[in-house]
Structure 1
């Protein structure tokens, strides 16, 4: 692991993957306490990708965007704790001033 990133591990919330209901509740409370991301310069659209198990996605489209960043998370804690009702994962904070 990158030593610069390793220093942040103690600040990450501990998730009990054996109790996803409580982990999601605790994560939702932490997310609600954080200031919401500024999305005033972008359109935000929730979609569902049809599959055997439908996948909820959120699209952040900055006004006058001329490119794209696709952010896919491989699972882990986010797959247990994040839901579209929780404001702004990192996608909303990525290069908000870029066009």
Structure 2
């Protein structure tokens, strides 16, 4: 059973983080409240204007993590910890 895509309107600016679990990621503030779950959620949106589709991963402590693929880091020109990116989540796919 497929869940229909639902619109999301969550835009935020956050620093890139690095950890052993994901090479590069951004913490999505307030995501558990906005999404209504602490489970993994598939989303689409933009980072610094570049479109992406990804799975938000639960951190176990509240907010989700948005893993940043190497291609997206290359497109934005940002991959170092501490660099700020603007994320706009537009659709929830799961």
Choose 1 or 2 for highest CA Rg: 1
Q: Is TM-score (shorter-chain normalized) higher than 0.5? A: no
Scaled by the length of structure 2, what TM-score is found?
Answer: 0.31
Q: Relative CO higher for 1 or 2, CA cutoff 8 Å, sep ≥ 6? A: 2
More strand by share: 2
More helix by share: 1
